[in-house]
Amino acid sequence: MQWGNLGAAWWSLLAAAIVLLYLLRVRVRRQPVSTSMFWSQVIEPGRPRFAWGPLRQIGSLLAQLLLLALLVAALLDPSLGGPRQEPRRVVLVVDQSASMQARDAGPSRIELARREGRRLIHGLRPDDELAIIAAGSTTRVLCGLTSYEPELRRAVEGIQATDGPGRMGDAVELSRKIVDQQPEARIVVVTDGCLAEHDVLSGEDLEVVLVGEPLDNVGITRFQPRRLPQDPLSYEVLVEVRNAGRRPVELRLELELNGNLVDVQPLRLEPRQVWSRVLTQTSATGGRLIARLRPQPTRSPPAGSDAAEASDGSGTADSSDSPARIAAANRRAESDQRAWSDALAADDLAEAMLPDRARQSVLLVTDGNLYLERVLAAIPAVDLTVTDQLPATVPAGTVVVYHRLVPAVLPAGNILVIDPRDASDRWQLGPSLPPPVLVDPASESPLLSHVRLAEGQVIVTDARPLEMTVDHQVLARAVGGGPIYVSAESPNGRLLVLSVNLSQGDLPLRTAFPILVSNAIHWLQGAADEPLPSLAEGGAAPRDGDLLPAEIVTRTAPAAAARSAGISRPLWWELTLLALVLLCLEWFLYQRRWIA
C-alpha cells in the first residue's frame, strides 16, 4: 500500500470535533399538540423507543467516524502496487496500421485501443504525465508529455486507423527519446500484434497491450497500373493477393475501370499463398481503376426457378439475359457478398487512377488520299486537321504529316513525310525504283511493332530511295536499292520519311498500314518510351493483410498484467464511492430512527 498525499492526514483531526459534538447534549425540540390521546395509542407511555436505544447514539457516532475515515483515506490517495512516490512518465504508442480496422467479435481494434488509452488516462495520478504517439505510415506525436486530462482525451479520441502499414520501430524509438533519462518512465504499446517489424517490441521499459483476436483475412497487397510504353492504348496492372489466413479460400478478383467490369480472375489460395499477376488491358481513356475481391458466386439454381420467381409469371423467364435473370443474379451476388465475412474490409478493395492518353493534334498536308485520312482519323486521341496548302507556321506540339507536298525547308517539330515528291533540306530523292522488295532491318523498333513489311507481305510498286543529309536510322529498305523508310532525331524534332507511293501497291490495303501510321504518330508524340505515371491507393503492405499476431508479440505481457504492473489505478475513487454509500446508508437509518 502506497500513499500519495500524506499531508491530508491532518483532516483526521475532524474526528475530535465529531466526538465533541457527540458529547454535547442535544436539546430535543418541543412540539405542542392539542391532545396526546392519539399519540398515547400509537406510542405506549413508558415503553422504550428502541430496544437498542442506548446504542443509537453510539451507532450514529461510529457511522460518522467511519465516514470521516473513508474520506480521509481517499484524500491520502492510496494505491496498491507500483511505484507511487515518484511521478511517472508514460508514453502511449497506438498502432495505426490498416489491420487495426479489423473487427473482432465487437468493436474494431482501433476502438479497443482507444479504450485502453482512456483506461490509461483514468489511471493517471495528478503528477503523472502522458504522451501519445500514433504509429501509422508516419509516426506522429498526438500529444506531448502532459498531465492535462482533457488534452489527453482529445488526443485519444482522435486516433484513427490508416490504410497503410504501421512503422512501429520509429514510434518506439521516438518514445524512448521522449522519456530518455526520465525516472519512472514507461512505454505502453497498444497493438494487435500484426506488425512487420515485431522484433522492436522488446525491452524492460516496454509494455505491450494486445487488442483483438487472430483472424483470417485475404487482401490485396499490391496494386499498381501503368500505361504500356510500346502501346499507348494499353495498360497493365500489377495485382498481388495474399491469403493471410489459416484456411484455403476461393474467391475472384474483379477489375473495374470507371465502373465498367474489365477483367475477372478466379482465385483459389492456399493458406499463406501469395498470388501475383500482371494483367494487360486496353483503353484509351483513363479513370478510376478498382480491384475488388469478391466471393465466388454460388451455383445458380435450376433454370426457371429463380427466374420464374422474378418474372411474375410473364413467361419470359427462359431468356438467358432477361432482366429477371439479371436481377436474380445480382441478388445472389449481393447475398454472397454479405455471407462472405472478411475481418478486414479495407484490403478487399484497391483503387488507382489510370491517366488518360494525351490527345495529339495532327496536321495532314496532302493533295488528297482517302486511306491516309481515314487511318489518321481512326487513331484514338488524335485531333486531325487536313489541308492541301503548305502551312506558313505550325502550332507547337502539332505533328505534321506531309503527303506528297513537302516544303523546301522543313519546319521545326515532329514531322511524318509520306511519298515526298520533292527533295528538302534533309533528304534527296533518288530515281524511282522498279517494284522493290522491302526488308526491315530495324524490326525491333517500336515503329515497326506488329508490322511486317518484308518477305513479300506488302507489295510496293512505286518507291524512291532516300539519301538523308542528317543522322538517321533506316527502318526499311528495298533490296538492291536504298532506304525507303527512315527515322531521324535532332534537337529540332523527330522526323520520319516513308517514300512509298500510296496510290501504287497494296500498302494502304494491308493491316500493317494503320499500325504503321499509328506507331509513327505515337513515336512522334515523343513520350512513347516513358511509362505514364499512375496513382495507386489502397492495398496494404504484405504484413498488414495478416491479422494473425506475430509470435514474438504474443509472448509479451497481456493487457491485464501490464495494467497491474505499472499502471495501477488509485483507490481514492473507490473510497469516495464507499463513503457515499455509507452516507446514504446513514441517511436511511436516520430517517427510520434506527440511529440518532
Partner 1 sequence: MESFDSNFLKQLEYLSLVSRRVFRGQLLAQRRTLQRGTGVEFADHRQYTPGDDFRYLDWNLYARHDELLLKRFQEEADLHVYLLLDCSRSMDFGQPNKFDYARRVTAALAYIALADLDRVSVVAFASNIVDVFPLARGKQRVLSLLKFLQSLRCRAERTDLERSIRSFVHRQQRLGLVILVSDLFDPGGFERGVDLLRHHGYEPHLVHLVAQQEAEPRLRGDVELEDLETGQTRRVTVTERHLRQYRQAFAEFLERVEAYCCRHGLGCTRTTTQVPFEELVLRMMRSAGAVR
Binding region for partner 1 (CB under 8 A)? 26, 28-39, 41-43, 45, 49-50, 591-593, 596
Q: Tell me how far, at minimum, the Cβ of 110 lies from partner 1, in Å.
A: 54
Taking the least distance from each CB to partner 1, the nearer of 46 and 491 is 46
Taking the least distance from each CB to partner 1, the nearer of 31 and 85 is 31
Q: Tell me how far, at minimum, the Cβ of 596 lies from partner 1, in Å.
A: 7
Taking the least distance from each CB to partner 1, the nearer of 56 and 452 is 56
- Among residues 149, 150, 132, the alpha carbon closest in space to that of 141 is found at 132
Taking the least distance from each CB to partner 1, the nearer of 29 and 247 is 29
Q: Tell me how far, at minimum, the Cβ of 581 lies from partner 1, in Å.
A: 22
Q: Could you tell me if 242 and 219 are in contact, meaning their C-beta atoms sit under 8 angstroms apart?
A: yes
- End-to-end Cα, the chain, rounded Å: 35
Q: Tell me how far, at minimum, the Cβ of 37 lies from partner 1, in Å.
A: 6
Taking the least distance from each CB to partner 1, the nearer of 31 and 393 is 31
Q: How far is CA 55 from CA 43, 52, 60, 133, 586, in A?
A: 20, 5, 9, 59, 14
Taking the least distance from each CB to partner 1, the nearer of 21 and 261 is 21
The Cβ of residue 549 has, within 10 Å, a number of other Cβ atoms equal to 22
d(CA 218, CA 527): 38
Q: Under 8 Å CB-to-CB from 595, ≥6 apart: which residues?
A: 56, 57, 59, 60, 63, 586, 589
The Cβ of residue 574 has, within 10 Å, a number of other Cβ atoms equal to 14
Q: Tell me how far, at minimum, the Cβ of 45 lies from partner 1, in Å.
A: 7
Q: Tell me how far, at minimum, the Cβ of 30 lies from partner 1, in Å.
A: 5
Q: Tell me how far, at minimum, the Cβ of 48 lies from partner 1, in Å.
A: 10
H-helix or E-strand containing 260? Answer: strand 260-269
d(CA 486, CA 105): 69
Residue entry with cell 483513363: 286
Q: Could you tell me if 340 and 346 are in contact, meaning their C-beta atoms sit under 8 angstroms apart?
A: no
What region, left, alpha or beta, does residue 287 occupy, with left being phi > 0 and alpha being psi -120 to 50 degrees?
Answer: left
- Among residues 412, 433, 409, 421, the alpha carbon closest in space to that of 369 is found at 421
- For 181, phi then psi, to 5°, come to 65, 15
Taking the least distance from each CB to partner 1, the nearer of 528 and 596 is 596
d(CA 430, CA 83): 99
Taking the least distance from each CB to partner 1, the nearer of 30 and 177 is 30
Q: Tell me how far, at minimum, the Cβ of 58 lies from partner 1, in Å.
A: 16
